[in-house]
Structure 1
Amino acid sequence: MKKYFQSLAYLVFIAVTFWAITKAIQVYEKPFSLYENPLVWIAVVALVLVILMKELLNIVAQKKAEDLILEKEGINPAEVDNWAWYKKLIKRWTKAKAIEEEDEIILDHNYDGIKELDNSLPPWWVYMFYATMIFGAVYLVRYHVLGADSQEMEYNKAMAEARRELDAFKATSKDAVIDAATVTALTSDSDLSRGKAVFNLNCAACHAPDGGGGIGPNLTDKYWVLGGGIKNVFTTITNGGRPGKGMVAWGKTLKPKDIQKVASYILKFQGTTPAKPKKAEGELYEEETSTETETVEQAKDSIQ
C-alpha cells in the first residue's frame, strides 16, 4: 500500500508543478526572470530534482532485484562484468586483438626483436573515410558541376543585403545612424545647449570657450584647416585632425548624436568676436550652393 501511495503522490506532484509552471509562462510577462519571479525557478528546480531522485531510486531498486535473481541462480553479483556490452562494442568497432591473441597477426619478419602486427583498419575509421568520399563527391557536383554559390559569393550577397537593409533603416527610422553623409546642422535650443556642454568639456581647452582658438585654430572666422560646414566639421571631430598632429579622433569617445550637436554649436561661432582671436589658419571656406537650390532659382528666373 505504501508503494502505491508514493507513486500517487509523485504523479500528483509532477502534474501540479507542471500545471503551475505552464500557468506562470502564460500569465507573467517575464516568467523566467529570477528577480521578478523566483518561485517559477524554484518550481522548475524542484520538478527536475524530484524526477532525477525518482529515476535514481528506480535504478537502485532494479539493481537490487537483479542481484537477488543472480544469488538465487548461485551467481555472485560481484563476479558479473557489468561492462561486458561496452567491451564487446569497442571490440566490434576497433577489431582490436587481445594480447593473448596477438600471435595470430604477427608478421614473419622482425628486426632486433621488434615484431610487427598485421592489424586491420578499425571499422570506425573505414566508415569515416567512406563518408568523406561521399561528401567530396556531393561537394564536387554541387559547386563545380551545378555551379552553386561559393563562400565568397554568399558573403558578397549577404553584405549587399545588409547594406540594403541599412539604407532602408536610415531612410525610415527617426533614430537613423548619423554619419558624414547624413548629418545636418541642428538649430533647436536643447540640441545647441547639449553641444555647448560637450564643447566646454572637451574642446574649450584647445579652442577657448568663445571659440577664439589657442592650441587649436580659431573657430570664428571663415578659414578652416580641414573644411567648414556641418559635414566637414562632423568628419573632423569624428576622425581627428591632420595625421601626426592636431586634434584626436573623438569618434571613439563621443556618440554620433553628440558629435552632431557639438558640430552644430561650433558653427554658431561663425561671425562672432572672441576676446583674443587667434590668427586665421587654413583656407577660406564658402558654403557650396546645392544643386536643388540652383534649380529652384533657375526656375524662378525662367518664370519671370
Structure 2
Amino acid sequence: MKKFFPVYVRVPLLFGLFFAIIEWLGGGTLSEPAFMKHPMLIVLFALFLFALIAVEVVSAATNKVLDRLMTSEERAEKERLAAIPFTESPWVKKLLKKLTRSKAIEEEKELLMEHDYDGIKELDNELPPWWVGLFYATIIFSVIYLLRYHVFEGDNQIVEFEKAMAEAKEQVEAYKKNAPDMLTAEQARYLTDAGDLAAGKQLFDTNCAVCHRTDGGGSIGPNLTDDHWILGGGVKNIFNTIAEGGRPGKGMVPWKTTFKPAEIEKLTSYVISLNGTTPVEPKAAEGDIVWSKAELEDAEGTDEMDADATEQE
C-alpha cells in the first residue's frame, strides 16, 4: 500500500483525520475550534504529528536495513510483487471473491443449468453477499419506517421543519430581547444608571447640542426641558424620533445609521433626564403633546407597588 500512499500523502492524511476526530469530540466549530477553547489540544496535535514522523523515519530505516540483508532471490521476489498492479494484488482478489462469491472459469461446469437456448447456457451463480445484505437492510428499514411514521404517527419532514422553524423563531426573539444592538423602540427602557446617563450626555454634547444647546434649552431644535413635545414624549417616542429623524424638511436626520440601538437608548434616557431642568435661555415651548418625566417615574412607582403587593400575597 505504501506505493499508492507515499509518505507525503500518509502523514497529512492521518494527521488530518486525527485532527477532525479530536475537533468533533471536543465540540469545535468553524468560528471557535476546539483547540482554541482547549489550548492543551495543541500539545496533543504536536505529539501526534511527532509520533507520525518518528514512525515513518524508523520504518524507512528498518526497510533499508532489511533490504540490505535480503538475498538476490528475495530481492527479485520483492520487486516482482511491487510490480503487480493494485487490482491484481492477492488481498484485493481475495476481498473481491468474498464480496461476489464468484467462481473460477474452471468451476463454471458445476454451475451450468440444464436448459439451453440456441446454444446459450445460463450459470446458476449465487447472489453477491453485498447485494443480499443490502436487500435485507432495505426490508428492515421499511419495517422501521412503517412502524415509526404510519403506526406510531411520528413527525414527518414537514412537521419536523415547522417545529425547527418555530424553535428558531423563539431563539431569535430571545436573542433580540437580550442583545443590546438589536433593541427596538418597544424594548427600550429609561436608564437611570449614572454610567449610562454619562454616555448619553457625551453623545448629546457631541451630536445634538449644536441644535438643542448643551443644557437642552433649544436653539434650532426645540426645547427639551419643558413638557411640550412635537412628536411625543416618553421612551418609545423619543427613541423613535432619534432613530428615524424628525419632521421632513426640519433638519432632524435619522441617527439610526450613526448610533447603535444601545446608544440611542442611552441618548433617549439622557434627553428624558433633561426634562424639568432649568436652561439658561429656554426656547419657547413647541408642540401640542404634553408629557413629563414625572409620568414615567409615577408609572415605575406603580409597577413597583404592584410587584410588592404580589410578593406579599
Give me the TM-score of the superposition, normalised by structure 1. 0.49
Give me the TM-score of the superposition, normalised by structure 2. 0.48
